[in-house]
Structure 1
Amino acid sequence: MFIRKNYKFYIVLFIFGTIQLACKKFETVPVEAKNEDLIYDPGDVNGFYADQAITNLYTFLPRGYARIDGSFLDAATDDGVASQVSSEIELLSKGLQSASRSVDDSFEANYQAIYRTNKFLANVDVVPVLALTLQHWKAEARFIRAMSYFELIKRYGGVPLLGDKILMLNDDTRMPRNTYTECVQYIVKECDAISGLLLKEPISITEVGRITQGAALALKARVLLYAASPLNNISNDLSRWQTAADAAKAIIDLNYYALNPSFVSAFINRSDKEVILAFQQAKNQDLEKANSPAGYVSDLYSSRGATSPTQELADAFPMLSGLAITDPASGYDSSNPYINRDPRFTATIFYNGSRWLGRAVETFEGGKDKPNTALMQTKTGYYLRKFLPNLETATNYGAIDHNFIIFRYAEVLLNYAEAINEATNSTANRALAYTQLTNIRKRAGITAGPGSLYGLKASMSQSEMREAIRLERRVEMAFEEQRFWDVRRWKTAETDFNKTLHGMKITRDSSGNLSYQTVNIESVAFIAPKMYLYPIPYAELQANGALIQNTGW
C-alpha cells in the first residue's frame, strides 16, 4: 500500500521538461535525483512544472466510462450486464471477487494519489507564483486527496488516515485502520477547509474542468449522505440525515447550478451549469464505438455494443405521464412497449425501433443488431444509449466531448430530497422532497398531469416518498456509478442484487409483425453481509501488517 511507490509520474514530467527546455538543468544528474528540484523550482516564475504536477493529480479523479474490462460498473447491478461473454465484471455481479482477485481494486491507486498529493503540498510553496494561484493549487490537491479517501471508504470501510505524512521506503508502514466515522469526519473537515479557497462559480471557459467550491460542497454532501444511510447509520441517527440535507442545500443555495433543459445535452457539453465536476478528456468517438448497437459497422465507424441494459431497468422508466407501467391508468401496451415512455427511456436505452445513424435499431431475433451470429451482441434486446449525442440522422461518428460526470446538479437535488425526507417524518419535509422530484421530472419531459405532480402520487407517506426517490435515482442516474453504491448503502443489495435478470426477446414474423417475450438472461449474486464491503487486497495486507481484513473475506 504505502511502500510500493511509482515514480513514473515524475519521470514523465522530467522527460517533458527536457524536451521543452533543452536539458538546461539536468545534463549530469540522474532523473531520480533531480525530478523534485525540477518540479518545485524557486526559479520557475511561471510555475510551469508545478502546474503540470497538479494537472497530473487530476488523473486520479474517477473516470467511470467502461472502466472494468470494457464495462460500466452498473453492469454489476440489476440495471445492466456486459454483452461480452465471461467479462471480468462478472466477478462483481456474481459474487466471485476475492482478496486475491479483484476487478475494481482502487486501494493502491488511491493511496498513490494521497502520497503524491502530500508530496505536492509539502513542496509547492517554494514555487514563486501568485499567491492566489498557489492557494487554488493547494486546495485542488487537498480535494483530490479527500476524494481519494472517499473512493476508499465506500469500497473498504475505514482505512488508515495519513494526514500530511509522506511515508518513505524505510518507514514503518504498519498502520491500523481508522474507523469509518473518523474517515468521514476527516473528509468533511477537508471539504469545509478548502471550499472557500477554491475557484468560485462562475468560472471562465478556460478554467472548465477545474475543481471549484461547488465540487467541494458536492463531495461533502455525498459523503454525508452515505454516512447517514442504513449501511453506515445502524441506529438511524436522524441528525445525520439533517446534516446531509444541509450539505446538499448549501449547493442549491449557491444559486448558480441548474438543470440543463435537455437531459441529453448535459452529458455532451464541456461547459454546462448542470455539471459540477467532470473528468475531462479530449474529444473522441470512444463511447459511440463501445456502446452503439453491434450492427453499426462500416468503413467509417465500428460499434461493439458492449453494454446490455436489463428489462428491470427498462421497466423502471415510467410512461410519459409519469405513471409506472404497472399502473392500469398509465396506458402501457405490452404489445408496443416503447411508445409514450418517459423521454429519459429513449435517451438512455437503444431499443428495437430506436433511430441511429439513419436507420432503425433492429434487436429482434436475426435483426442487424441481434443477428445471433456475432461474438458480442446484446444479451437483453437493449443497448446503452446514454452519454451519446443525437446522431439519429448522422452518417458517422464525429469527435464528441465525453467527460465523465463526477458530480452534477440533478444528483444534488436527489441527495437533498432523500436526506430531507429521512430527517423528519413531516409533511413539510416531504413537500421539499416533492419539489426536487417534480423539478427533475419536469426537465425530463414528463407531462405535468393532475396537480402538476408529474405522475407522482399525491400525499405520499415517508416510506412511499423514500421509494419514489430511489426510483428516481435509478432512472435519472443510470450508468453513472450510482446504483452500485446506492443499493449497498441502502442495505437492500441482498434482495436487489440476488435474482435472475431479464431481457426482451423480440420475434418478427413473415409479415413484419413483432411479438415481445420477457426472458431470463443471467443471474446475479450478492453474498450478505460480506459483500457490502470489498475485501482488502491480499497484497495490501502483506504490505501493512496492521491492516485487518473486512469480515467474511
Structure 2
Amino acid sequence: MTEEEKRSSANQARFLRAYYYHELFRWFGPLVITTEPIDPFIFDSTKRENLKTTVDFIVNEFDALSQDGALPDRWEGSEYGRATKTAAMGYKARTLLYAASPLYQESGVTWAQAAQAALDLITYADSRSLHSLYVAPGEPNKNYSRYFNERANAENILVYLRDPTNDLYNLFPAFNPWNVNKELTTVPTQWLVDCYDMADGSEPIVGYNADNSPIINPASGYNEQDPYKNRDPRFYQTILYHGATWPNVNKGRATVDIRTPNNWGSGYFLVKYLDDRIDHRDGGTTSMNFIMMRYAEILLDYAEAINEAENNANARLMAVEQLNRIRERAGITNPLNAADFTQATLRERIRKERRIELCFEEHRFFDIRRWMIAKTVMNKPAIGITIRGGQFVRSRLDNRNYSDRMNLLPLPVDEVNNAPLIYQNPGY
C-alpha cells in the first residue's frame, strides 16, 4: 500500500470505530472508552465513563474526521459507499442532537451546538452540490418511494449497500397472490397512518379522546369512512391499505381487501423500500439498500435543534424552511407558515415530520426515548383498522407496557458484576 492508501484506510477504520461508539451510545448511554485493545481480564481498571466524557470522545472523533483531507467528499464506482467527510459531519451532528436531548442532558451539550453542526453540513453540502433531496426523473409522484430503490444518489450520506434483491416482498399481505411464504411481518399501526396530513398540508386529526378515538379537524375534509382520500403523497408510497392496488404481483395486479377472511394484522402493510416496477413474486430484483443516514435527516436535525436553541421568530423561520424543503419534495401543495407556530407547537410539528419522513429507518425507536416521551407513547395500545358492517372501525391489537428504565438498555450483568468501575443503567 502507498502511504496515501494507508492514511485513507486508517481514517476509514477510525470512522467505523466512532460510528460503533455512536451506536452504543444511542443504546446504552455512557460507555467504556478506549483507543487501544483492552485486556478482558483487567476488571479493576476497566471503567465506564460518564456521559460527558463519552459524548466528547465521539464528537471529537467525528470532528477530526471532518477536517479537510481526512476523508474525501465522495467515492466513485466500486468504492462508492465508503466513509466520507459529510458522513463524519453528519454523525457528529446526530451525536450532538441526541446529546442535547432531555434523556442525555448530563452530557452538557447545548441545542445551539447541535444546530450549528447540522448547519455546517447543510452549508458545506449545498455549496459543493454534494447532497440534495432526491427527485425521481419524470415521476414527481414517486419522488419519495423511488429514492429507496436507487443505489447511488445525492441524498445518500451513508448507506448499507446490498446486492439487487427482492427479499423484502414478505412485507406484502400474508396470502396469495402477494406473499407465497405466508409471512405477516411489518404492519404499520393506525397511530402512524393518522400522522399523515391531507394533500394540502392540513392536519386531519388533531388529538385523541380518552378512549383513543380521534379528534377530527373538520376544516381538513378528512372523513373517517373515506380515510385514505387526498392524503400526504408519502402515505401512498409507504403504506398498503384497503382498496390500494399494487401493479406487479405474481404476473398481475392485486388489490387489498381487508374484508376477506385472512390474517390482516393491523389492516396495513409496509411498501416503503419495495419497487412497484418489478414483480417481487416473479423474481425481479431491485436496489434495496438500508439507509443509515440521508440528507433529509440532517435537515430535520437542524430544524429540531434550531427551534429548541432559540425561541424566536427567526429560528422558527429557519426550522420551517427545512420542513418545507422536505414537504415540497414529497408533493405537498401548501407550505407551512412559520408565523403560525410557537416554539412548542413547532416542536410537535417537527417530531411529526420526523415520524413520517423517516419511518422504518430506525429513528422513531430512539427519538421517543431521547425526547423522554416513550412512556406516554408506548403505554398506548396498538391500534389497527378493520371493516364491520361496511364501516371502518378502529380495533385494539394488543396492550403494551413501558417503563422509564427502558429508555436505555441494561448492560450485561456479568460485566457489571465483574468490573467495579462499570455501573448499571438506572432501573435494572
**Common topology (TM > 0.5):** yes
1:127-146 pair list within 5 angstroms: 129-146=1-18
For 2:75, the equivalent position in structure 1 comes to: 203
CA-CA distance at 1:395 after TM superposition: 6.7
Identify which of 179, 187, 195 aligns with 1:308: 187
Cα distance, 1:142 vs. partner?
0.9
Using the TM superposition, give the Cα deviation of residue 506 of structure 1 relative to its aligned residue in structure 2, in angstroms: 2.0
2: CA distance, partners of 1:388 / 1:515: 30
Cα distance between partner residues in 2 of 1:321 and 1:139: 46
Q: 2:286 — aligned with what?
A: 400
1:396 positional shift: 2.8
Residues 379-458 of structure 1: matches in 2 within 5 Å? 379-391=265-277, 396-448=282-334, 452-453=335-336, 458=339
Q: Which residue of 1 aligns with 2:64?
A: 193
User: Any residues of structure 2 matched to 1:34-433 within 5 Å, and which?
Assistant: 129-162=1-34, 164-168=35-39, 171-172=42-43, 174-196=45-67, 197-233=69-105, 240-254=110-124, 255=126, 256-261=130-135, 262-288=143-169, 290-297=170-177, 302=181, 304-326=183-205, 327-356=217-246, 357=249, 358-366=252-260, 371-372=261-262, 377-391=263-277, 396-433=282-319
Q: CA deviation at 1:360?
A: 3.6
How many angstroms apart in 1 are the aligned matches of 2:66 and 2:273?
Answer: 29
Alpha-carbon distance, 1:348 to partner = 1.1
| Inter-CA distance 547–459: structure 2 relative to 1 (3 Å threshold) | same
Mapped pair 1:526 → 2:420: no
Equivalent residue of 1:226, what SS? Answer: helix
Change (3 A) 1:268 1:544: farther
- Tell me the CA shift for residue 157 of structure 1: 1.4
Contact 1:355 1:392 in 2 (8 A): no
- The AA in structure 2 aligned to 1:134 is K
CA contact (8 A) 1:311 1:504 kept: yes
Q: Which region of structure 1 is more displaced relative to structure 2, 459-468 or 320-329?
A: 320-329
Q: In 2, Cα distance between the equivalents of 1:537 and 1:391?
A: 46
CA distance in 2, matches of 1:244, 1:283: 36
| 1:194 Cα offset (Å) | 1.4
Instruction: Give yes or no for contact 1:381–1:506 (8 Å, CA) kept in 2.
Output: no
For residue 231 of structure 1, give the secondary structure of its aligned residue in structure 2.
Answer: helix
Name the SS of the counterpart of 2:218 in structure 1: coil
- Tell me if structure 2 keeps the 8 A contact 1:231–1:489: yes
Please state how far the C-alpha of 1:402 moved relative to its aligned partner: 1.5
Q: Distance in 1 between matches of 2:278 and 2:348?
A: 34
CA contact (8 A) 2:12 2:71 kept: no
Q: Could you say if the C-alpha distance between residues 476 and 329 of structure 1 is closer, same or farther in structure 2, counting changes exceeding 3 Å?
A: same
In structure 2, relative to structure 1, the CA distance for the partners of 1:142 and 1:303 (3 Å cut) is farther
Unaligned runs of 5+ in 2: 136-142, 206-216
**Matched-pair contact (CA < 8 Å) for 1:301–1:396:** no
Runs of 4+ residues over 6 Å off in structure 1: 392-395
**Aligned residue in 2 for 1:550:** 425
Distance 2:43 2:279 in 1: 62
2:365 match: 484
Whose Rg is larger? 1
Q: Distance in 1 between matches of 2:70 and 2:144?
A: 28
Conservation of the 8 A alpha-carbon contact between 1:198 and 1:211 = no
Report the equivalent of 2:385.
Answer: 504
Deviations 1:308-340 (A, max 9, x none): 100000001111111111322211121111111
Aligned to 1:468: 349
Give the CA deviation at 1:198: 4.2
CA displacement at 1:364 relative to structure 2: 1.5
CA separation of 1:303/1:174 partners in 2, compared to 1, >3 Å: closer, same or farther?
A: farther
Give the superposition deviation at 1:234: 6.3
On the 8 A contact 1:266/1:275 being kept in 2, the answer is no
2:411 pairs with one of 520, 536, 543 = 536
CA contact (8 A) 2:278 2:285 kept: no
Q: 1:392 to 1:342 in 2, by over 3 A?
A: farther
Rounded to whole Å, the distance in 1 between the matches of 2:278 and 2:258 is: 19
Paired with 1:446 and 1:304, the residues of 2 have a C-alpha distance of 34
- In percent, how many aligned pairs have the same letter? 38
Residues 159 and 291 in structure 2, CA contact (< 8 A), matched pair in contact too: yes
1:320 counterpart SS class: coil
Contact 2:171 2:270 in 1 (8 A): yes
| Deviation for aligned residue 1:483 | 0.7
Separation of aligned partners in 1, 2:36 and 2:280: 53
C-alpha distance in 2 between matches for 1:400 and 1:409: 22
Residues in 2 aligned to 1:257 and 1:316: alpha-carbon distance in whole angstroms: 27
Question: Contact (CA 8 Å) 2:166, 2:280: kept in 1 or not?
Answer: no
Q: Hey, what does 2:140 align to over in structure 1?
A: none
Distance in structure 1 (CA, Å) of the matches to 2:422 and 2:367: 26
Deviation at 1:457, TM superposition (A): 7.0
Secondary structure in structure 1 of the residue aligned to 2:282: coil
Relative to structure 1, is the Cα distance of residues 245 and 495 closer, same or farther in structure 2, using a 3 angstrom cutoff? same
Structure 2 contact 313–339 (Cα < 8 Å) conserved? no
Q: Secondary structure at the match of 2:24?
A: helix
Give the CA deviation at 1:134. Answer: 1.5
* Secondary structure, counterpart of 1:520 in structure 2: strand
Deviations 1:393-439 (A, max 9, x none): 88734122221111000000000000001111111111000100111
Corresponding residue for 2:392?
Answer: 516
**Contact 1:208/1:270 (8 A) holds in 2:** no
- 1:297/1:303 contact within 8 Å kept: no
Unaligned runs of 5+ in 1: 1-128
Shift of 1:523: 1.5
Query: Could you tell me which amino acid in structure 1 is paired with residue 311 of structure 2?
Result: N
| Structure 1 residues 517 and 346: alpha-carbon distance in aligned structure 2, compared to 1, 3 A threshold | same
Cα distance in 1 between the residues matched to 2:348 and 2:316: 13
> 2-side partners of 1:461 and 1:144: how far apart?
39
Aligned length: 401
Name the SS for the 2:359 alignment partner.
coil
TM-score normalised according to structure 2 size: 0.88
Deviations 1:352-394 (A, max 9, x none): 122222334324232xxxx33xxxx432100111111124888
Letter in 2 for 1:253: T
Q: CA deviation at 1:461?
A: 0.6
| Cα distance per residue 1:172-204 (max 9 Å; x no partner) | 575121011111100111111112344433431
Q: CA deviation at 1:282?
A: 1.5
In structure 2, the CA distance between the partners of 1:212 and 1:342, relative to structure 1 (3 Å rule), is same
What is the SS of the residue equivalent to 1:407? strand
